[in-house]
């Protein structure tokens, strides 16, 4: 029995997290938005719930993630963020003078996604070393004008081969660009199997 338990434990250690196996699906879903989402449009609109979205030709940086998670992993960040804010509203930034959750916009705000990812246990240390950022990781930046931004680390490298490209929408629609170290990084997140399980428990 002891040998069997040791063998099972070794197998578990050798098996990558389920989410790590799915990183190509997440990246592919983000890349598929390039040339489809051609506008940056931060307009507040009423959305259906769950599964609500603005027209696919437009959106903001968070919409790249929202669409990639839905298409690549079948995970609805709109429902995840809304469900978590219902149970823990005070754990989220109070930047918009709201008295409660708003399923139309909460998941489309970078600070809210950061709070959710931290609560899911996905947060990693911020590093100045590009090698620390792996394909499928999520990164947040502070843009000029104190604007928050978020993107997905691509599996493609820049022309120098020293850092991964980023899938994001910074103003000209969904793009895959050499951006990782272009602005101050404010957050680094990796969706482990535990973090994914935490989110899936809310997407019901």
Q: What is the pLDDT of residue 104?
A: 98
Share of the chain above pLDDT 70, in %: 90
Range of the domain at 136: 21-202
Q: Is residue 74 part of a domain?
A: yes
Q: What is the pTM of this model?
A: 0.89
Q: Mean pLDDT, the chain, as a whole number? A: 92
User: 25 pLDDT exceeds 50?
Assistant: yes
User: 4 pLDDT exceeds 60?
Assistant: no
User: 180 pLDDT exceeds 90?
Assistant: yes
Q: Is residue 14 part of a domain?
A: no
Q: What's the average model confidence in pLDDT over 112-121? A: 98
Q: Is residue 16 part of a domain?
A: no
pLDDT band at 17 (very low <50, low <70, confident <90, very high): very low
User: Where are any strands of DSSP class E within 144-197?
Assistant: 147-157, 164-169, 174-177, 185-189
Contact present, 26 and 72 (Cβ < 8 Å): yes
**Number of separate domains in the chain:** 1
Q: Is residue 159 part of a domain?
A: yes
Q: What angle (nearest 5°) sits at the alpha carbon of residue 111, between those of residues 51 and 113?
A: 35
Q: Is residue 88 part of a domain?
A: yes
Q: How far is CA 202 from CA 51, 79, 120, 137, 144, in A?
A: 14, 7, 11, 21, 34
pLDDT band at 21 (very low <50, low <70, confident <90, very high): low
Q: Is residue 1 part of a domain?
A: no
Q: What is the CATH number of the domain that holds 188?
A: 3.90.1720.10
The β-bridge relationship of strands 185-189 and 123-124 is: antiparallel
Q: Is residue 107 part of a domain?
A: yes
């Amino acid at each position: 029995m002891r040998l069997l338990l040791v063998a099972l434990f070794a197998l578990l250690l050798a098996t990558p997290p389920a989410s790590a196996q799915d990183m190509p699906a997440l990246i592919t879903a983000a890349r598929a938005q390039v040339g489809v989402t051609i506008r940056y449009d931060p307009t507040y609109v009423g959305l259906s719930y769950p599964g609500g979205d603005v027209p696919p030709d437009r959106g903001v940086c968070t919409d790249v993630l929202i669409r990639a998670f839905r298409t690549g992993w079948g995970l609805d960040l709109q429902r995840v963020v809304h469900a978590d804010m219902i149970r823990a509203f005070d754990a989220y930034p109070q930047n918009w003078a709201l008295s409660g959750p708003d399923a139309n916009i909460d998941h489309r705000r970078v600070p809210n996604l950061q709070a959710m990812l931290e609560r899911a246990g996905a947060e990693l240390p911020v590093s100045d070393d590009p090698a620390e950022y792996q394909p499928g990781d999520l990164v947040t930046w502070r843009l000029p004008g104190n604007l928050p931004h978020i993107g997905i680390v691509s599996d493609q490298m820049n022309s120098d081969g020293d850092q991964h490209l980023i899938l994001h929408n910074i103003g000209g629609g969904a793009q895959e660009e050499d951006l990782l170290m272009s602005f101050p990084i404010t957050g680094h997140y990796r969706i482990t199997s535990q973090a994914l399980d935490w989110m899936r428990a809310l997407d019901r």
